Amino acid sequence: MNEVKILPLIVDLTGSFFRSSRDALERARNAQSNSTAVAEPTGLNVFSHRQPETQASIESIVFSFLTIEANINYLFFEEQRSRTLKNMEKWLRQKWKHGLSVYDRFVLLVSQYAMANLNDFQYLTSLFSEFIRFRNRIVHAQPEQYHALVEPGSVPGEVLVHDVEALFDSRGFPVSGLSEEIGRISADDASRGFEIMLLVLSFLDEQFVSEFELSWPRSVAGEKQYLRPSGILESLTLRHYPKIDPESFVPEFISNLKKHQSIE
């Protein structure tokens, strides 16, 4: 009889969350292209005739965010596992589990264990900050105010809504271009969230030794491949934030090394 052993097993959900986001985005795009309905007039009814697109888009957005969060947590504990913890790092480990926002964890991870200066990547951090606020409006939803033009309907108690103006968050999402109104979330928002996720993952992938790859379908139907986040970005037919080049995430000393190798 074979000897039974107990071995440590680490389960990282980054890849699972990514696949869920990718598949939901595809469903949202298919629902968008197959829809023959007139554009939603008010944006109040989140799940009306756009139900399949809206639901799939929200699903993709949430899983894109979870992919980032899972990757940040994985990298932090991987870094801590690989070294002898000092008092500051022990305190940080305890603090990490309680009371830190996702953005705080992102900043601490980079400042503590990477060489990058986040001040050099303000466009990326602005995108990430807006994506966090956008996601929070979904998962921590609060009542939203509208000005509506209405009149009584022909049936007692019925109200006809002719026009609606939402009272948006004054900050909006000027950098990312994400929808300011939950009721108007679409496949475009899911696509933007997916790209922001890939940009953040590409940045983190360049800052740490452990490289990771994600499942991505080949052009041939049914075949799969595994690519780094930057490789997936390069394969996208639509880029919402093309002025961000993943090559700019490569640490300077590695970039100089690559240039030196190409000269030789």
Q: Is the pLDDT of residue 63 over 90?
A: yes
The more confidently predicted of residues 107 and 4 is: 107
Of 88, 126, 124, 86, the closest CA to residue 108 belongs to 88
CA distance 190 to 40: 18
Q: What is the mean pLDDT of residues 127-140?
A: 94
CB 127 within 8 A of CB 135: no
Contact of 204 with 42, CB cutoff 8 Å: no
Tell me, what amino acid is at 45? Answer: N
Least Cα distance to 187 among 59, 85, 81 occurs for: 59
pLDDT at 220: 64
As a whole number of angstroms, the distance between CA 232 and CA 210 comes to 18
pLDDT for 50 equals 60
Determine the pLDDT at residue 42: 45
The predicted model gives 199-205 an average pLDDT of 96
State the greatest distance between any 2 C-alpha atoms of the chain, in Å, as a whole number: 83
C-alpha distances (whole Å) from 252 to each of 41, 153, 245 are 50, 66, 14
Of 199, 192, 175, nearest in space to 247 by CA: 199
* Close Cβ partners of 160 (under 8 Å, ≥ 6 residues apart): 150, 151, 152, 153
Higher-scoring residue by pLDDT: 60, 264: 60
What pLDDT does 38 receive? 46
- What is the pLDDT, as a whole number, of residue 82? 75
Segment 209-251, tens digit of pLDDT: 777 899 998 766 667 889 999 999 999 999 999 999 998 898 7
Please report where in the chains the tokens 């603090």 appear, as a residue: 95
Contacting residues for 18 by C-beta, under 8 A, at least 6 apart = 63, 67, 197, 214, 215
Q: What is the pLDDT of residue 105?
A: 94
pLDDT of 149 higher than 70: yes
Residue 133 has pLDDT above 60, yes or no: yes
Question: pLDDT per residue over 23-48, tens digit each?
Answer: 999 999 998 888 654 444 444 454 45
In degrees and rounded to multiples of 5, residue 215 shows phi and psi of -70, 130
% of the chain exceeding 90 in pLDDT? 44
Give the per-residue pLDDT at 34.
Answer: 83
Query: H or E stretch including 88?
Result: helix 87-97
Domain ranges of the chain: 14-143+176-259
Give yes or no for a contact between 134 and 178, defined as CB atoms under 8 angstroms apart.
yes
Q: Determine contact, residues 197/124, Cβ cutoff 8 Å.
A: no
Q: Say if residue 176's pLDDT is above 80.
A: yes
Q: Stretch 204-210: mean pLDDT, rounded?
A: 87
